[in-house]
């Protein structure tokens, strides 16, 4: 029986070393990702929806860690062990492929992609009820107890956000405060052009389109401030559409909304009747 060439005969030994190094690093890195890095991943846990996004980011980061490590270990080991030494530098023997390795790689990546697709679909549709990105005017996935949600209309306009509360006489405010422990049903729309309501710490990013009522459900769990931006290029002062919102206790919210109703009582007569959406005025522009 013909003996294998020396470089080929040493391949299993090098492969075992690579696997051992990779396994040790993975055993160290994955717990660090989950336990140390995970709690600090965005967007935080101010709402149930934001917390679900943190969990999703943690899972995906933990899954990608072994893949990144095997690539780094393989190339690092190759550069150290198989680098050319001495003054005589020659090309190595050509490689024409290795069917078992190729099959294993295709199978492994396919399993990872399919598993992430199934898990991601479940997270978005079933456990999170599709909340966070807006579901249009007729949501298919509704959270439990959505009938008791506090409705808040988010109105985008060049270049500001305002908010109407239909259960409080349709009062319109220039600041957003939300109570904890209450389901919130956001109705996102626009008066002029397409905007995008991005409340980062709430885990919400929904398009604001003229004539469209884009519904988003969110469940605040912790008090604090959150940033509000427009995530859709909407004109010259697009970057000016920045606000700070607040999640407060129920009692604090009742005091705040009562103060808003009193302060805006004189302006209330000039507001159009509350509607799920609005159209730009004039309806036709530029001819």
Number of domains the chain is built from: 2
77's tokens? 């080991």
Side-chain-side CA neighbours of residue 20 (13 Å):
6
Q: Range of 206's domain?
A: 146-270
Query: In terms of DSSP bridges, do strands 214-218 and 204-208 run parallel, antiparallel, or are they unpaired?
Result: unpaired
163 and 214, same domain (yes or no): yes
Instruction: Note the pLDDT of residue 281.
Output: 64
Region of 149 please: left (phi>0), alpha (psi -120 to 50) or beta.
beta
Q: CA dihedral in degrees (164, 42, 180, 265; nearest 10)?
A: -20
User: Is residue 50 a part of any domain in this protein?
Assistant: yes
The secondary element (H helix, E strand) that includes residue 50 is helix 48-81
Candidates 200, 106, 183; CA nearest to 143 is 183
User: Is residue 35 a part of any domain in this protein?
Assistant: yes
User: Is residue 103 a part of any domain in this protein?
Assistant: no
The CA-CA-CA angle for residues 242, 244, 245, to 5°, reads: 130
Torsion 85-88-93-95 (CA) sign = positive
117 and 161, same domain (yes or no): no
119 and 150, same domain (yes or no): no
266 and 156, same domain (yes or no): yes
Which domain CATH number covers 219? Answer: 2.60.40.420
* pLDDT in 10s for each residue of the chain, 287 residues: 444 445 545 567 888 888 899 999 999 999 999 999 988 888 888 988 888 888 888 988 998 899 899 999 999 998 888 777 776 667 767 777 778 878 888 998 899 889 888 887 777 666 666 566 677 778 877 788 888 899 999 999 988 999 999 988 889 999 999 999 888 999 999 988 889 999 989 988 899 988 888 998 999 999 999 999 999 898 888 988 999 999 999 999 999 999 999 888 888 888 888 877 777 665 544 33
User: Is residue 281 a part of any domain in this protein?
Assistant: no
> Distance (Å, rounded) from C-alpha 94 to C-alpha 8?
12
Angle between helix axes 11-32 and 48-81 (nearest 10 degrees) is 150
183 and 250, same domain (yes or no): yes
**Which position has the token pair 């934001």?**
50
At 243 the three-state DSSP class reads strand
Beta bridge partners of 50: none
Return the DSSP state at 220: B
User: Is residue 94 a part of any domain in this protein?
Assistant: no
User: Is residue 37 a part of any domain in this protein?
Assistant: yes
Torsion 101-109-94-18 (CA) sign = negative
Give the end of a domain, one of 98, 127, 156: 127
Instruction: Note the pLDDT of residue 247.
Output: 95
176 and 203, same domain (yes or no): yes
The secondary element (H helix, E strand) that includes residue 162 is strand 160-165
- Report residue 168: phi and psi, to 5°: -120, 45
18 and 47, same domain (yes or no): yes
178 and 239, same domain (yes or no): yes
User: Is residue 135 a part of any domain in this protein?
Assistant: no
> Distance (Å, rounded) from C-alpha 29 to C-alpha 45?
24
123 and 28, same domain (yes or no): yes
49 and 155, same domain (yes or no): no
48 and 153, same domain (yes or no): no
User: Is residue 150 a part of any domain in this protein?
Assistant: yes
Candidates 226, 216, 150; CA nearest to 189 is 216
67 and 152, same domain (yes or no): no
Return the DSSP state at 201: G
* Predicted model pTM: 0.76
């Amino acid at each position: 029986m013909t003996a294998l060439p020396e470089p080929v005969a040493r391949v299993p030994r090098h492969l075992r070393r690579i696997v051992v190094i990779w396994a040790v690093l993975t055993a160290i890195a994955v717990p660090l990702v989950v336990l140390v890095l995970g709690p600090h991943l965005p967007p935080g846990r101010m709402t149930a929806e934001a917390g679900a996004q943190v969990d999703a980011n943690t899972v995906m980061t933990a899954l990608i860690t072994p893949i990144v490590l095997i690539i780094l270990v393989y190339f690092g080991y190759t550069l150290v062990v198989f680098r050319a030494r001495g003054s005589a530098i020659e090309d190595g023997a050509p490689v024409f492929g290795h069917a078992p390795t190729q099959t294993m790689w295709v199978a492994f990546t396919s399993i990872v992609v399919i598993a992430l697709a199934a898990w991601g679909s479940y997270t978005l549709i079933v456990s999170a009820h599709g909340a966070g990105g807006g579901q249009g005017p007729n949501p298919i996935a509704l959270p439990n107890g959505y009938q008791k949600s506090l409705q808040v209309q988010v109105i985008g306009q060049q270049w500001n956000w305002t908010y109407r509360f239909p259960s409080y006489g349709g009062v319109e405010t220039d600041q957003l405060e939300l109570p904890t422990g209450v389901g919130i049903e956001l109705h996102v729309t626009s008066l002029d052009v397409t905007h995008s309501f991005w409340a980062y710490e709430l885990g919400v990013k929904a398009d604001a389109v003229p004539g469209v009522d884009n519904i988003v459900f969110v469940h605040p769990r912790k008090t604090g401030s959150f940033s509000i931006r427009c995530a859709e290029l909407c004109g010259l002062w697009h970057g000016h559409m920045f606000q700070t919102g607040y999640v407060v206790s129920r009692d604090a919210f009742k005091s705040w909304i009562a103060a808003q109703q009193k302060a805006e009582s004189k302006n209330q007569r000039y507001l159009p009747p509350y509607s799920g959406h609005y159209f730009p005025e004039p309806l036709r522009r530029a001819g």
